[in-house]
Structure 1
Amino acid sequence: MKNKNQINVLLIEDDPMVREVNKEFIESVEGFRVVEVASNGEEGLSLVKKLHPDLVILDIFMPKKDGIKTLQEIRKQKLETDVVVVSAAKDSETIKLMLQNGAMDYIIKPFKLHRIQQALEKYRKYRVSLNKTETVSQEQLDSLLYSEHVKNRPETLLPKGLNEFTLNEIKVFVQTQEVPRSAEEVAGAIGIARVTARRYLDYLEKSGVITLDVQYGGVGRPVNRYVNIEK
């Protein structure tokens, strides 16, 4: 019989070595148990239907059925499981597509142990918060959805005119670029006005998420470009 506090995980990963390492990482977090593993999307989808896991840890580049099609099938068939993506894919289109299809988190390989621990602890909090009551207040929901935002910045509300979805889109775009990007380039990629992009970029820069790279060259004013803080 399943422990009611235990979170059952299905790991879908085609590389045997990575699969074993990820399994150890997952089970190092108290309360999480890998109940089965799959080496491709077709096998994984079959196991989701059979085992009804609480959480699927999903790779993208796999034979037979890749992670994108697997997640889309999970949603299409209305299978009740949550998904966290762990993949080497870091292009913004793939990340955006997986998030649009309901992935709760996206971890880019290679990653450190604390990153997957962070994802699993956040998922545990999400499950506990939504399972212990039939109704949730706006404050509880905000704390749940924006826990990292709340933890890292005491002013839990975004400045007027900014929203969390667009903020995350811009953050992901900048963090997946190999070179610094200007506000105009970010605006074109996201589909918003340059002045709007500049407001989001300034906010992210002041929050320490991205960094400013002032580039001088030729005649005219220097160009402000933005880059992932880790680059």
Structure 2
Amino acid sequence: MKQVSIIGTGNVAFHLSQAILKLDQWNLHQVFGRKKSATERLKKDLSSKRIQTIHHLNDLEEVDIVLCCISDDAIQEVVPKLKLQTTLIAHTSGATALQNTAVNNAVFYPLQSFSKLKVLDYQNIPFCLEADSDKNLKLIKDLAGSISTKVYKINSNQRLQLHLAAVFVNNFTNYMVKIGEDLCQQNDIDSAILQPLISETFEKLKQMPAFEAQTGPAKRQDHQSISAHFNLLKNTNYQSLYHNISQHILNDYGKKL
């Protein structure tokens, strides 16, 4: 049985730990966290007594793979400090290039939004992989393929572009929904009324490209509605955002405000 250890105690660490614990051919050996309370809480959340929790990097033992589920800044700080000689060190960042500071280096980037309380289907999460040798790529691919059916070889430049695309389709989209909820709540409207529309938006995108799925005032060049919305947003931080997004849509479909 192959061995994996994890550095980190956040949402990515939680979900990857949970995914690995479901595997027969891989064992989650150690979890490192700087704060004992966070590490012990992660162990409790995972409901696994067999995981060894540690709080000093020098206590990491040689295993097949160590996954660094930490921030980009922390990757630059932590990875050079690791003294492991045979272990493959893989970070999980979409925006950080393949490192060269360890003996064996790889990237194990799951293209997904992770929230601890949200149950995920790990088999459908795309894993984007890169390694400094064919041998290491094969090893990291073995782990990814044990978790998911969607495994891709993606280089650092491609992964950065993919991470940017993911920010638009996930993070920015979520913020747009947050604005919609705010506008409802500010006007005594139950924001749950938006849920069927949100669901239909994403169901439609499973069936057609976003360019074809686009609707709304800017797409149909409804300047009267755009003007009314613009006036409603007067003296808010959202007015310029509304204008800029509407202008981009109008530009893509051939018109300007």
TM-score category of the 2 structures, normalised to the smaller one: 0.3 to 0.5
TM-score in terms of structure 1 length: 0.43
TM-score in terms of structure 2 length: 0.39
